[in-house]
Each structure stands twice: as C-alpha cells, then as structure tokens.
Chain A
Amino acid sequence: MATVHLPSGLTQFTGGLSTLTIEAPRVADLLATLAARYPELGPQLDQVAVAVDGEIYQDPGYQAVRPTSEVHLVPRIAGG
C-alpha cells in the first residue's frame, strides 16, 4: 500500500487526514481512488502534480506506483 501525503491545504477535503495509504498500481488509479473516496477533493486535483519517490510528474498519468512508494501531492509549478 503506497503512502500518500497531502499538502495541508487539501486536508479540509479529506476530513483532516493528511497521510493516507492507497493501493493503486499507477498514479492515475491512485488519483481516481482519492477522488472516489473524497468527492470534494476531486475538483482540486487538477491543480496538483504528483511526486513518486522524489520524482515529480507535472502530467500525472500512468507512472507506476510501487507498494512501498512515498507519494506526495505537490503544487503544479511552471518554469520560465
């Protein structure tokens, strides 16, 4: 079960929980599970990028999530 860390700004949509364990093989599955579990969180997820074991993906999709992965939802960043 991957450990998912939410930034404090999103915990208002998860009843205060900032660390969750989610079983999902890919990032897209993980986000879908989150949105299904916490319907109010869903619309906020287009503002996030996903870091899996320290590597940040601006386009969260089918990147693999291992059972031991540390996943962080981070703000989407634009470079210049």
Chain B
Amino acid sequence: MSERVFKYIGTRPIRHDGVDKVTGRANYGADLTLPGMLHGAVLRSPHAHARIVSIDTSAAEAVAGIKAIVTGKDFPETTAKLALGEAAIDLHDIADNVIARTKVLYGGHAVAAVAATNPDAAREALSKINVVYDVLKPVLTVDQATAPNAPILHDAMVTKGVKDAKGPTNVAARMELKRGDVEKGFAEADVVVEREYRTPTVHQGYIEPHACVARFGEDGRAVVWCSTQGPFAVRDQVAAIVGIDPALVKVIPSEIGGGFGGKIVVYLEPLAVALSRKAQRPVKMVMSRDEVFKASGPTSGTKIRVKIGAKRDGTVTAASASLYYEAGAYRGSPAGAGMACAYAPYKFPNFFIEAFDVVVNKPKVAAYRAPGSPMASFAVESTLDEIARELRLDAVDLRLKNAAAEGDHAPYGPAYGPIGVKTILDAVKNHPHWSAPLGRNQGRGLALGFWFNGGMNSSATVLLNPDGSAAVITGNPDIGGTRAAQALMVSEELGIPVERVRPIVADTDTSGMTDVTGGSRVCYATGMAVINAARDVREQLRARAAKIWDVDVESIKWEDGQAIPPPGVEKAPHPLGVADIGAKMAHTGGPIVGRASLYAPMAGPGFGAHICDLEVDPETGRTTILRYTAFQDVGKAVHPSYVEGQIQGGAAQGIGWALNEEYVYNPSGLMENAGFLDYRMPVASDLPMIETVLIEVANPLHPYGVRGVGEVPIVPPLAAVANAVRQATGIRFTELPLSPPRVLAGIEQASRQPVGVS
C-alpha cells in the first residue's frame, strides 16, 4: 500500500463536543428531566441463589406517590435470539436478567420495580414489597460450580460442544482449538513450564452509572433516552423484552460516561418503559454505584492452566491450556475469545487449547474491553516469562523467535495479513526504557497482547451546506473522541477545514442502522462508512462542476478540496472549491447529500506490547508503578491524541486489574466491596505518565489503513505487571490481584523457604 500523504488525518484538532463537556453542558443519561417525570427504583434479591415463592406488592401499592409497580409477570416470555455486539445472545437470558421470573441467580438480581413521584416514596415502596424466597446454596467459583453434587443454576442446561451431553450441569459450553501434535512437541522440548493461574471478577468501572428516561405515549410509542454504547441494540432489546413492535420504539443516546462493553446489554430500560406504560408518565431510572457493581455486568473470574515447552534456543515446540471462565448467572462468558487470543501473537507449531463456559451465582458477565483476552494473555505471557528465565533468554528475543507474521495462521484459523508483531518487538528492543537501569526491589516486565478489529454494520450520511460546510451523521455514541475522528475523515475527503465539519450522533429514527460503539470498530468500520459517504458527496460535487462548466465529468480532477477543469475550456477559467459549487446547489440539481452503509468484515487485528517497571516494598507488599511504556500497532492514527488516550486508559485499567481490583464475596455469596473505596481502581497518585509508541502497519482493508485500537491496550498489563513483580521479588505470583496482603504473604512465605527452592 503506497504511503498516502494526509492533510488532516493525523492532526490534533480540539474535539467538536469538547466545549460542552468542559463546561458541564453536555447531557449524560441522568441529566434529562421531563414534565411529570416519575422516579423508578428496583427491588433486588438479597440472596445469591433462591427460588421465588411469591411476591406481594399490595402494601407497596398503597404508599403515597406510587404510580406503578412491575414484576416478572408483567413481561412476556421470549425465546428470540439477537445479534448483539457481535455475539448472538439469547434474549431469554437477558430478559430474565432484567427481572427475575422463577429464580434469583445472584445477589442484586432484580425482582420488582416501582415508579413514584419522588425518590423517598420509591424507596419506601420497595421496603413494603414482600418477597418469599426458598433460599438455595450458591456456587461462586468454577471449582464450586463443577464439583460433584454442586447446586445447579439452570435445570435444563446441557454442555454445548460436547457430543451426547447430558445434564444436570453448570458447564454451559466447551470449545477447543488444536494444531499439530502437542505430545510430540512436549517430547521435543528442552524445558517445560506448567502453571495454574486465577483472576478475579472485575468491573469495567465506568464513572457514570446506568441511567435512562422512558416515556410511553398514549399512541403506544416508547421513547427512551439512555446512556448506551448502542441505541439500535437498546431498541431491539427493549422491544423484545417488553413485548412491543421495535418500530414503535425510538432510542435517543445521551452522552455516555464510559462503557467499555458494559453498556451494550440493557438493565434498566425495559423496566423504565414498562413502568411508564403502566403509569402513563415518563419514568427516570438511575443505578446507584452499589447497584452498578452488583447488578450490571462485570467480567469473568477465571482459572487457567497453561503448559509450554521450548527448545534451548527459545523456539516453542508445544503449548497446552485449559481455560475456565465464570459466565455469571447465565451462559455466555468470553471463554471462546480467550481461547482464540491466548496464542495469537505466536506461530506455535503444536498447540491444544480448550475453554469452558461455567455458570456461577454472580451477575451475568458483560463485555469488558477485549473480553476474554486479558486473562488468557496473563496466563500465557507469565508462562513465557518463566520459559525465558529458565533458558536465560531476553524476554523480547524469546518472543521474536516465535512471533507470528503475515501469512502465518492465527490460532483460530485464517492466515494473518500484514501485522505488527515483529515491528512492535523491535521497537521495544530499541527503546531506552528496555535498557534503563533498575534499583533494589525493582523489576521490569514485558508482555504482548492481541485483539480483533470489530467490523459489522455501519451507516453514515454527509450533508453539504451551500457555504461549503458539512455535517456528518452516524448512530455511534462518542465515548472517546470518535466525533473528532469522523470530522477529520470528512475534511480529508472533501478538503474542507475540520472546524467546518459538524459531527453528529443521531438516534434510531435519524441515523442509518449501526452496530454498537465498541469492539474497536467505530474508527474502522463506521469510519469507512463516513469516508464512503464523503466520497459520495465529492462525486456529486464533480458532477455539478461538470454541469457548471458544460464538460464531461470524467475530465474533471479533484485535488485538495477543488474541482480542477480540463485545460482550455472557456467556461472553466479556474478551479471551483466546495463552497463555490455548494453555493450553486439549487442551480445544478438540488441539495447534495452523501450516504454510505456497509458491513465491514472483522480483519486487520491489533497487537500491543507493554513494558512495566515497578518497585515492591518488602515490608508492606505495596507495589508502585515507576515507569510504563505501551507499544501498539494502530494501523493509522486518525487523531493521535485520542489514540494515545485509548492506550493510556486501557493500560491503567489493566494495571488496576493486576494490582488491586477484585469482587470480594462473603460466604453467602454477597458482594462486600460494592463501592469505589474498597473496589480499588487506580487514582492519579498511583500512576506515572504512560508513554505510548504508535506503530503504523497499515490495515489493507481500510482506505487509510486504520486498525481498531480501543481494546488491545488492556490485554498486556496483567502479565507485564506480574512479570515485573517476579523480577522485583523473585516470586512468581499466579493469582491476581497482586494486592499488598497477597504480595506480603508471598514475600514472607518465600523468606521462610531454604535457599535453592523456587
């Protein structure tokens, strides 16, 4: 692909929605108020596992100010499947998760919802709803869920992917990938390392709780304002769960205060619509932080066994792994994705990897940035680090020896196109961070990571104004600067300044259908639709110039925002710019509207490598991150500041996952740390500046070479931190988080071991 020279792509304009956001004017999910609006609240299960015997709402109905109450029986049974955020999800499970029917499957599972004229009345009504439960024993880990005679969550569950499978079981699915002959491969190895790893349940941690306002009108139409990653996904889910025609549902996305995959599946919206329908008034519902932790969708806790064998020169001869992922209350963990990603940066000749999706009495897991990949990568990259140590090989060299390149087959099947693994590793090796000196109790860790590039459905419209300015409209909420990126693309294609482009996030009635903002797909897939729509405008501009000049459109070139006429035409003395042609719209055929829609395939994946330096205080077990450098193949950075931002943010989330974050459960299966004080995410004083190195190996599927960047950066940090702690302490920790109590216990135990025992 030739090196295109860009005029606007790669620059760093101020984002178009920026002033609204720094002044507090931008409206997020909880910022809307409507006349007559009621306040909704949800009654949630106090038990991790129980049968619902009865629900009596009569006392609650009598509370002053209560206008509507709903329970599971107000919602229809649904068996529909929905293509949602890239995976076909059983709507039956989502519907049951929104409000329980016969069983509650986790502490916090919604059982009833009320709408009242003020929040105090709503709270009082909740306290007066009488639910009788038949409490059951919960299972909270993969080990508990798969133990003999374990309590069963779903009586009808059989393990998908196993021939002649029979219930009862909590194992929802088994998947497998294989290549070559692992037994032969291990026999050829000079060194074999085998470890078992565990990672906890963690939450996306978006600062904005779920929020929505629903208004069900006298005409049977529902309007939902909500904070979401996908208005079309909300429309389809709400329609199916509440039991109304999707054509009667309009979803208007507000600004969104973080999602990371957790705001794709609905929680409140169907409840708000159903309450509004009963009360015939708008209903607002906002989750408390406690509810966000307990009743939205964290990601899987996992148990992962990895065994890798290598020759003395570092060539891996065999890799074998078993991945057990907690799905939460319903099937659907990202175990399959973890399986596909685990060995993705490498060309191992022989491998085996199996993955198990296991239900437990925790909230149903939702997507969290590169879902499934961080945990698998933690296990594989930690094991590779041990291999490098045993062979006394540099960590970069070991990975270079096994690095996948264009033409090698990904572990999940297809051959890679141009990819950046080796380029990234060379950049690591040559970076001053890799050879900087370290002091006492300090360590350096390296890890690689992989994630796919989402594709799927996207639409875009570009509207030209007579003055040569333009609007670009998509249905993708802007979580991290995509409006600015889309404006840059229109600027590049039309040759107009980026300040003269207005990027707009529309709703389900005013935008062509588009899949969610997530999966690293907006800059890539929706970006392609934007570029194509802008090119559509450009072609129309050329055709109008042809009319104005009375020449053949084929003879007109387009350069730098201008139509260039063929030489020697009297009626065409000089080029015409966008504004010149725009001013003559009405005279040459009418308004100019460009449009495009496409289904982008998933291709052109991304890789990253992170170097982490840290210091462990041997007296407290506290880890301080000293220096962090993140390398990533981004294809083409459209707005480099926001690309850097994605990498820095993902790295910070991964560091939190490695060092402090976890759901703490009591023996009854209830979460004990459902707040930001004890669910400890990184704060500004926990981190240094995070340096980013953007590497651009063009993705041949995209006109500018763009790769999705948002998700890769959360994948390497878990092992980068663990490998650094290994160097700093001499101890291989295989269970996250590496919080001070765990690290201190490990240090104390190691100091009691005689010398020579590893």
Question: Which A residues fall within an 8 A CB radius of B?
Answer: 5, 7-10, 12-13, 40, 44, 46-47, 49, 51, 53-59, 70, 72-80
Contact = CB atoms under 8 A, between A and B. Distances in A.
Given A9-B177, A13-B163, A74-B340, 9 more contacts: A7-B412, A56-B601, A56-B603, A57-B455, A59-B83, A77-B336, A77-B340, A78-B371, A78-B519
A76 B369 CA distance: 16
Interface stretch (B84-92, B436-444, B659-667, B679-687): B84-92
A80 B455 contact: no
Contacts of B83: 58-59
Interface string B257-269: 0001110100000
Tell me which of A73, A76, A80 has the highest count of chain B C-beta atoms within 10 A of its own C-beta.
Answer: A80
Interface of B: 81, 83, 85-88, 160-161, 163, 173-178, 204, 260-262, 264, 334, 336-337, 339-340, 352, 354, 366-371, 412-417, 451-452, 454-456, 518-521, 599, 601-603, 701, 711
A79 B520 CA distance: 7
7 contacts: A7-B175, A47-B161, A54-B416, A74-B412, A75-B412, A77-B337, A78-B367
B176 A79 contact: no
Nearest to B173: A47
Contact of B87 (A55, A56, A74, A76): A76
A49 B601 CA distance: 11
B176 A46 contact: no
B711 A70 contact: no
B680 to A, nearest CB: 21
B177 A8 contact: yes
Contacts of A59: 83, 456, 599
A56 B340 CA distance: 13
Contacts of B352: 8
A72 B371 contact: no
B602 A57 contact: yes
B413 A9 contact: no
A74 B414 contact: yes
Nearest to B602: A56
Nearest to A13: B163
Nearest to A75: B336
A40 B163 contact: yes
A79 B88 CA distance: 12
A72 B701 CA distance: 19
Contacts of B368: 80
A9 B174 contact: yes
B340 A54 contact: no
Contacts of A79: 85-86, 261, 367, 370-371, 451-452, 454, 518-521, 711
Contacts of A70: 414-415
Contacts of B88: 46-47, 76
